[in-house]
Amino acid sequence: MRRDPLELPFAPPSNAIVWHVPAAASDAATLARWRAGVGPPVVTEPASAQSSAADSVTIASWNTALGAADIPGFVGTLPNPVAPIVLLLQEVVRGGPEVPGRLPPATGFGRRHGGASLGPAFREIEAVARGLGFGVYYVPSMRNGPPSSSDEDRGNAILSNLPLTELMAVELPFERQRRVAIAATIAGHTTAGAPWRLRIVCAHLDNIGSAKRLYVGSEYGRTRQARGLLTLVAGTEPTILAGDFNTWFGFNDLAYIELSRAFPETRVADRRRTFHGMLRLDHVFYRLASGWHAEFRRAAKRFGSDHYPMLGTVRFR
């Protein structure tokens, strides 16, 4: 992986994102074709930032099924919805004129799924964030169908009622579709005045390998993507890495094994399956400062998605 400004025509504040891309020339050429089909990232501030004096933060990771998930309904079930909250969301959809309607030849894009085709059930990510009063950091991974069928792109988003700083986007090694992991930092101090700082990373790995690789279950392709991401999130900084890792083989999946080795403090308190109750695809990994504590469990309901949210709390005291 290497740092790259990408020379994208983004307006402030989304031009402050630090980009990292695969160093392999073959990856770079393919990713450029897929990048041409999406609109710019979205970066907004919370309507009224939560106080940074907090002894804990609630964190959820959730594949929102391309706009079908009831994110406000889920947030409304949290024990203290006005406390510091961070949502690490995968498969969110953004629609509108920001998404290019005319594409260069050979532009890559995903097949259209969800989005406005869901009808009244569709929840566009910018509208969701505004309704909650949260800030949003969204980076599209791919266009959601050709211009003839939609004006949408889709990818990962971080929603929070705390300000998000030190934004980073990571184009993962290309397997079947363009995937962009995103990271940000939240910070504050405890009620006793001790400062805290936490890096949060949202990722979504490929679920199927490319036809030319013929990897059964795409396990090796996912592992390649996980290794690329780990070159940028390994270290000692307190970090939450969460998302839909598409681990078809659950806790025995090579991608999961690689990631868990890099986050040895992670303790799995809930081993239930997260995709329709059939597969364990969603995980939360963490590295904490001394004296901190974290625990994550699967939520009781899917709230309209095909995935259950992973929900937990990081306590700073």
Show pLDDT as tens, one digit a residue, over the chain (317 residues).
888 876 566 666 777 899 999 998 889 899 999 999 999 999 999 998 667 689 999 999 999 999 999 999 999 999 887 789 999 999 999 999 999 999 999 999 999 999 999 999 899 999 999 999 999 999 999 999 999 999 999 999 999 999 999 999 999 999 999 999 999 999 999 999 999 999 999 999 998 866 555 555 578 899 999 999 999 998 899 999 999 999 999 999 999 999 999 999 999 999 999 999 899 999 999 999 999 999 999 999 999 999 999 999 999 97
Cα–chain-centroid distance for residue 36? 20
> Count of domains in the chain?
1
Position 268: which residue type? V
**Does residue 177 form part of some domain?**
yes
pTM of the model: 0.95
Q: Which domain holds residue 209?
A: 2-6+17-315
**Does residue 257 form part of some domain?**
yes
Judge whether 21 and 28 are in contact, CB under 8 Å.
yes
- The CATH number linked to 233 is 3.60.10.10
**Does residue 12 form part of some domain?**
no
**Does residue 276 form part of some domain?**
yes
**Does residue 292 form part of some domain?**
yes
SS3 87: strand
**Does residue 224 form part of some domain?**
yes
b/e code 35-58 from CB counts within 10 Å (16+ = b): bbbbbbbbbbebeeebeeebbbbb
**Does residue 187 form part of some domain?**
yes
SS3 125: helix
**Does residue 11 form part of some domain?**
no
**Paired strand residues for 180:** 171
